[in-house]
Chain A
Amino acid sequence: MEINQKHQETYQRFHVLHRLLHIVIIFNFIFLAITGFLLHFSAFGWVSSIVFLMGGAGAAGWLHRVCAVFLYIGILVHVSWLFYYKIVLNQKLSGPDSILPGKKDIRDLYQNLRYVFNKGTPPLFDRFSYLQKVDYWAVMLGMQSMGITGLMKWFPEFFTGIFPGYFINIAAHFHFHEAVLAVMYIAVVHMSDTHLVPDIFPMEKTIFTGEIEKTRFMEDHPEEWKREQVIKG
């Protein structure tokens, strides 16, 4: 069984740029989460001893900001790739290949819930399933609000010139609670809906190798597979 899978025909699903950006996001996200939570829960004794090993609260804060900057650079590179994709490569950003949510996603969700309760067939996903779209937009939108609230905490002198002072406190609360949300989302939803799927367990490698095996392509993204066959003729 394993040998068969190894020698299967594969298709490219992700370009190098997207694999690279995914790795950038993994590393920076993990370090941001570690340093951020260490700084927030500084009242606990064991936290301060770990922060001491990192070089003190100042160094942990510095690391947090550096990771934030690199993470956001990753997002900017991704956005500029979208422009490149649209303008230079002349491709469509909407349509069946798109990551933009559409009516089909609601239908898929409904059909999938029916399937989960044994009331029908599984939905036929296109290039991105509704869960993958939620994964993408959770990061994409979450990083914008984390970025804005983080900047407000980073440069309070500038932002209190625009907003009243209590906005900094509000930003601090949003920043922390959304961090909890983001970490919970990644640790619970993203990890389980990618790696813990029985067909894929123990590890989903597509985002790292960029390749998807033929059988998984046909099973997980049947609509895209169909279109691919039509284009091939």
Chain B
Amino acid sequence: MFLKTRRFIITGGALIIFMAALYPTPGVATNTPDLKPAKAIEKHVPESLTPEPLICLDCHRTPNIHTNEGVIASRSFCYDCHKEADIKKRDVSKDINLQITPDIFAMNQPEHRFIACINCHTDVARSPHKTETGATCLGCHSPHSEGPANAPHLRITCQACHFQSKFVRLDPKDHRVKLSHIDYDSVPIGLSDHIPTDITDEETCEKCHFKKNPVGAPAAVLPSKSALCILCHNSPLAMGHPVFGLAGLIFLAGIFIMTGFWFKGSVKGEETSLHRKISLSSESIWRTIFSKQFFSLIKVFILDILFQRRILKESVSRWSMHSLIFTAILLRMALALFTAIGFYFNPDGNLLTALIDKNHWFTAFTNDLLGLFILLGIVWAVVKRFIVKPDYVVTEYQDNITLILIGSLVLLGFLLEGARILVTGIPSEMAAYSFVGYILSRMFSFFPFDWASIYPLMWYVHGVIAAIFIAYLPFGKMRHMFNTPLTYFIEAVDGVKNEKRV
């Protein structure tokens, strides 16, 4: 027995050693794909070092700026002139210094110190030595949307915010805000030092956002939209302003209280233990999802919730009124969600750039049309409740609060859009697609108010009402948007299942 085991161990050990010997050792197993580029470089280097006769193309050439050699070659060509102290651009009133040395540039923009000048200044290496496009950033960087900067900032060049120079101008040709080469007293200034600014500091926004600014910016720095605004607008996953944060907290607390209320009733005979109630109801939800009933729930979701079949059965006019509000908000939310998520994945695409651009014809028209639908629905409801007053309409104060909140939100939204179009001075052929806002902006232009100062006030009122609306959702009339679908679902699963009392 003992001998047998020992023999077993010896054979096993020998087998293991044999297998290990078969395993390729690191010295033998070379990683061939890694070696290829190294070989290529080795071959290439001596060739480029061979002396060449002096010909035109020694200077007038297109170095490959995607290689280190090319970057150094092309930069040395720029610095050859621009490092000199007396390099100046002659202007009518004053000479502008255009000096920039490699050391200053590396100090001011350490991120770009291994990048060729012509990588950004794409159209300067030619005669006449003058740029049409300015420096381009979007060749490498992706634009940002809501959050760090709101959508109207799409017509602002990167440098206007990200560079330290305090002077900006509105280019009438392409209607974009750019860094100005003259200060506000028309004295030429140099921009060759390339000093970026700390854009997290709100003070940098104030170079545009002050009273009577020349670029059509609102007079105050406004916070970004909040994640709560996704109900109607493309918005970032941010708080934006403490008011929105507070509203979000109240909303969550309300949802919590509402869910707690659902579990106040008995669940399958269990009266007291909340733990038992939750486990019983989650058990039955689990069984429903993994059963054929799931398909009937999808049917209920599409017909009764998205298309509001039960209201249509009651009355066509009620359905029309409700759908004008509900479907329009739903569509705006779907569009906003698609934009927010899509932009996250593809910030360079044309489609998403169009969707985050408030002035693009599709976005402007769709949002205005849907907003108008909501407003029409609200007006219809108000007329029915306060003027026609049919017997079956019972008006409660909760209904009035909801109508006032949604109505004033949409109305203020349109007023804001009108003021924005007026203040930013968007050309009318572009602004006409936001048809409601454009008409309002024409009307506003008759009143000689300082709209750039009124705009921030209106923005805050709109924001605060939106915050109140969100916070009110789980408490008032709007609670039905959680309760009604749930009731439909429970009815669909089991007509008399008294699992949750709503």
- Give a binary string over B272-307; 1 marks a CB under 8 Å from any A CB, 0 the rest: 000100010011011000100000000000000000
Q: Give, as a whole number of angstroms, the nearest-CB distance from B292 to chain A.
A: 16
A43 touches B33 (CB 8 A): yes
Determine the distance from Cα of A203 to Cα of B395 in the docked complex, in whole angstroms: 58
Name the residue on A nearest B285 (C-beta).
A16
A and B contact pairs by CB, cutoff 8 A, 8 listed: A15-B279, A16-B279, A16-B282, A16-B283, A19-B286, A43-B31, A43-B33, A210-B286
Interface residues in B32-61 (C-beta closer than 8 Å to A)? 33
B33 touches A210 (CB 8 A): no
A200 interface hit (Cβ, 8 Å): no
Q: Give, as a whole number of angstroms, the nearest-CB distance from B268 to chain A.
A: 14
A210 touches B275 (CB 8 A): no
The tally of CB-CB contacts under 8 A between chains A and B is 17
Interface residues in A9-24 (C-beta closer than 8 Å to B)? 15-17, 19-20
Q: Which chain B residues lie closer than 8 Å to A43 at the CB level?
A: 31, 33
Closest 8 CB pairs of A and B: A16-B282, A43-B33, A16-B286, A16-B283, A15-B279, A89-B275, A19-B286, A16-B279
Q: Which chain B residues lie closer than 8 Å to A16 at the CB level?
A: 279, 282-283, 285-286
Name the residue on B nearest A17 (C-beta).
B282
A88 interface hit (Cβ, 8 Å): yes
Name the residue on A nearest B287 (C-beta).
A209
Q: Which chain A residues lie closer than 8 Å to B285 at the CB level?
A: 16
Name the residue on B nearest A84 (C-beta).
B275
Q: Give, as a whole number of angstroms, the nearest-CB distance from B447 to chain A.
A: 50
Please tell me the size bucket of the interface on A.
10 to 19
Q: Which residues of A are interface residues toward B (Cβ below 8 A)?
A: 15-17, 19-20, 43, 88-89, 208, 210
- Give a binary string over B322-353; 1 marks a CB under 8 Å from any A CB, 0 the rest: 00000000000000000000000000000000
Question: With contacts A15-B279, A16-B279, A17-B282 known, what are 9 further pairs, Cβ within 8 A?
Answer: A16-B283, A16-B285, A19-B286, A43-B31, A88-B275, A89-B275, A208-B290, A210-B283, A210-B286
Determine the distance from Cα of A27 to Cα of B309 in the docked complex, in whole angstroms: 36
Q: Give, as a whole number of angstroms, the nearest-CB distance from A47 to chain B.
A: 12
Q: Give, as a whole number of angstroms, the nearest-CB distance from A48 to chain B.
A: 11
Q: Give, as a whole number of angstroms, the nearest-CB distance from A54 to chain B.
A: 12
Q: Which chain A residues lie closer than 8 Å to B279 at the CB level?
A: 15-16
Q: Which chain B residues lie closer than 8 Å to A208 at the CB level?
A: 290
Q: Give, as a whole number of angstroms, the nearest-CB distance from B12 to chain A.
A: 17
Interface residues in B91-121 (C-beta closer than 8 Å to A)? none
Q: Which chain B residues lie closer than 8 Å to A19 at the CB level?
A: 286
Q: Which chain B residues lie closer than 8 Å to A88 at the CB level?
A: 275
Determine the distance from Cα of A15 to Cα of B278 in the docked complex, in whole angstroms: 11
Q: Which chain B residues lie closer than 8 Å to A17 at the CB level?
A: 282
Q: Which chain A residues lie closer than 8 Å to B290 at the CB level?
A: 208
Q: Give, as a whole number of angstroms, the nearest-CB distance from A76 to chain B.
A: 19
Interface centre among B33, B275, B285, B286 (most CB of A within 10 A): B286
Q: Give, as a whole number of angstroms, the nearest-CB distance from A210 to chain B.
A: 7
Q: Which chain A residues lie closer than 8 Å to B31 at the CB level?
A: 43
Determine the distance from Cα of A80 to Cα of B290 in the docked complex, in whole angstroms: 26
Determine the distance from Cα of A15 to Cα of B285 in the docked complex, in whole angstroms: 12
Q: Which chain A residues lie closer than 8 Å to B283 at the CB level?
A: 16, 210
Name the residue on A nearest B282 (C-beta).
A16
Determine the distance from Cα of A19 to Cα of B279 in the docked complex, in whole angstroms: 12
Determine the distance from Cα of A233 to Cα of B37 in the docked complex, in whole angstroms: 77
Name the residue on A nearest B346 (C-beta).
A55
Q: Give, as a whole number of angstroms, the nearest-CB distance from B387 to chain A.
A: 51
Q: Which chain A residues lie closer than 8 Å to B275 at the CB level?
A: 88-89
Q: Which chain A residues lie closer than 8 Å to B282 at the CB level?
A: 15-17
Name the residue on B nearest A15 (C-beta).
B279
Determine the distance from Cα of A43 to Cα of B35 in the docked complex, in whole angstroms: 12
Q: Give, as a whole number of angstroms, the nearest-CB distance from A179 to chain B.
A: 19
Name the residue on B nearest A12 (C-beta).
B283
Determine the distance from Cα of A88 to Cα of B290 in the docked complex, in whole angstroms: 30
Determine the distance from Cα of A15 to Cα of B290 in the docked complex, in whole angstroms: 15
Q: Give, as a whole number of angstroms, the nearest-CB distance from A78 to chain B.
A: 16
Name the residue on B nearest A44 (C-beta).
B33
Q: Give, as a whole number of angstroms, the nearest-CB distance from A55 to chain B.
A: 8
Name the residue on A nearest B275 (C-beta).
A89
Q: Give, as a whole number of angstroms, the nearest-CB distance from B24 to chain A.
A: 16
Determine the distance from Cα of A210 to Cα of B283 in the docked complex, in whole angstroms: 9
Name the residue on B nearest A16 (C-beta).
B282
Determine the distance from Cα of A132 to Cα of B286 in the docked complex, in whole angstroms: 24
Q: Give, as a whole number of angstroms, the nearest-CB distance from A68 to chain B.
A: 18
Q: Give, as a whole number of angstroms, the nearest-CB distance from B151 to chain A.
A: 25
Name the residue on A nearest B33 (C-beta).
A43
Name the residue on A nearest B344 (C-beta).
A62
Name the residue on B nearest A89 (C-beta).
B275
Q: Give, as a whole number of angstroms, the nearest-CB distance from B284 to chain A.
A: 9
Q: Give, as a whole number of angstroms, the nearest-CB distance from A97 to chain B.
A: 17
Determine the distance from Cα of A210 to Cα of B290 in the docked complex, in whole angstroms: 12
Name the residue on A nearest B34 (C-beta).
A43
Q: Give, as a whole number of angstroms, the nearest-CB distance from A215 to chain B.
A: 22
Determine the distance from Cα of A17 to Cα of B31 in the docked complex, in whole angstroms: 46
Q: Which chain B residues lie closer than 8 Å to A89 at the CB level?
A: 275
Q: Which chain B residues lie closer than 8 Å to A20 at the CB level?
A: 286
Q: Give, as a whole number of angstroms, the nearest-CB distance from B261 to chain A.
A: 20
Q: Which chain B residues lie closer than 8 Å to A210 at the CB level?
A: 283, 286
Determine the distance from Cα of A43 to Cα of B32 in the docked complex, in whole angstroms: 10
Determine the distance from Cα of A208 to Cα of B291 in the docked complex, in whole angstroms: 13
Determine the distance from Cα of A210 to Cα of B279 in the docked complex, in whole angstroms: 12
